[in-house]
Amino acid sequence: MAGKKTIGFIGTGVMGGSMAAHLLKAGHEVHVNTRTKARAAELIAAGALWEESRVAIARKCETVITMVGYPSDVEEVYFGPQGLMENALPGAILIDMTTSRPDLAARIAAAAKARGLGALDAPVSGGDVGARNATLTIMVGGELGDFEAASPLFACMGKTIVLQGGAGSGQHTKMANQIAIAASLLGAVEAISYAKRAGLDPRRVLESIGSGSAGSWQLNNLVPRMLDGNFEPGFYIKHFLKDLRIALESAVAMHLDLPGLRLAESLFELLQAEGFADKGTQALWLLYERGLMPGTTH
């Protein structure tokens, strides 16, 4: 195919696996590496090439995409003797699609530029469903030339793809996204808690408020799951808490006080402490339902 690229994909979990599969279906040569090879079994069966290390990926691929868990994982993958930075092909583009720290993204970009490499931070929104359906929103930071070179690859994985500015801008945009989600989710949970306490049928209340000015993705998608007792993860509490912590640290660094963000972070801290780290974010409802909120009255 015209424009066929050799792409390395590191991190083929719930979202990364689907994203890599779309690149494979588009005709690209995809080399994969993840901590547990079994997680990549479907991709390998579909034609992806397994590599035993990220060094092997770096030395074979003109574009390398990473989708790992935490900023500490990003740092490990990119830096050091076994890192992408020291082993990448000349002129390669490194794309981190993990939700990570804006300052780390800027450091990666500076190190890449010093070595004649391209670098983009490109976190995503849309969850596992968006990854499967190739409808992700992709928020990008970096140089225009690198963005233009990577845009055909982004188009295989997402629908809304925007270059927000220089290095770190994609991560800052993702933080804004997570702050908005936290506020919306908290509002949805409190609205339905209020409706229940008032003796209303929460599903009927949802019929009325879900399509009006109060309507939101969180209200219309997660409240039905809460009411059904379905707390399985579309997005893990432990990962959302990681994002809220990054957002809070970044806000503090910018001398910005965001009390709503501080509240959300404290509530998800409590959820994790109560043993719900591997549940979906809609489990916030359980703090209210089970009387786990500090100062709860019945």
Integer CA distances (angstroms), 6 to 40, 57, 65, 83, 123, in order: 17, 10, 11, 19, 21
Quick one: 14 and 150 in the same domain?
yes
Q: How many domains does the structure of the chain reveal?
A: 2
pTM attached to this predicted model: 0.93
* CATH at 186: 1.10.1040.10
Quick one: 110 and 177 in the same domain?
no
Domain contains 269 = yes
Quick one: 136 and 117 in the same domain?
yes
> Are the beta carbons of 235 and 281 closer than 8 angstroms?
yes
Structural domain range at position 60: 6-165
**What is the torsional sign of CA 116, 54, 161, 151?**
positive
pLDDT tens by residue, 204-252: 999 999 999 999 999 999 999 999 999 998 889 999 999 999 999 999 9
pLDDT of 235 reads 87
Quick one: 155 and 181 in the same domain?
no
The interaxial angle of helices 102-114 and 169-197, nearest 10 deg, is 160
Cα–Cα distance measured from residue 202 to residue 190, given in angstroms and rounded to the nearest whole number:
11
Quick one: 161 and 181 in the same domain?
no
> Are the beta carbons of 171 and 102 closer than 8 angstroms?
yes
Which tokens in the block code for residue 275?
């043993």
Instruction: Catalytic residue, from 5, 37, 159, 174: name it.
Output: 174
Domain contains 297 = no
Quick one: 15 and 160 in the same domain?
yes
Please, what are the averages of pLDDT over each run of 10 residues along the chain (298 residues)?
85 92 97 93 96 96 96 97 97 98 98 98 92 96 98 98 98 98 97 97 97 94 96 92 97 97 97 96 95 69
Q: Among 143, 165, 187, where does a domain finish?
A: 165
Quick one: 240 and 146 in the same domain?
no
pLDDT of 297 reads 52
Q: Among 165, 192, 209, where does a domain finish?
A: 165
Quick one: 158 and 46 in the same domain?
yes
pLDDT of 1 reads 44
Quick one: 65 and 181 in the same domain?
no
Quick one: 147 and 88 in the same domain?
yes
Quick one: 210 and 182 in the same domain?
yes
Quick one: 95 and 53 in the same domain?
yes
Answer yes or no: 5 catalytic: no
pLDDT of 3 reads 80
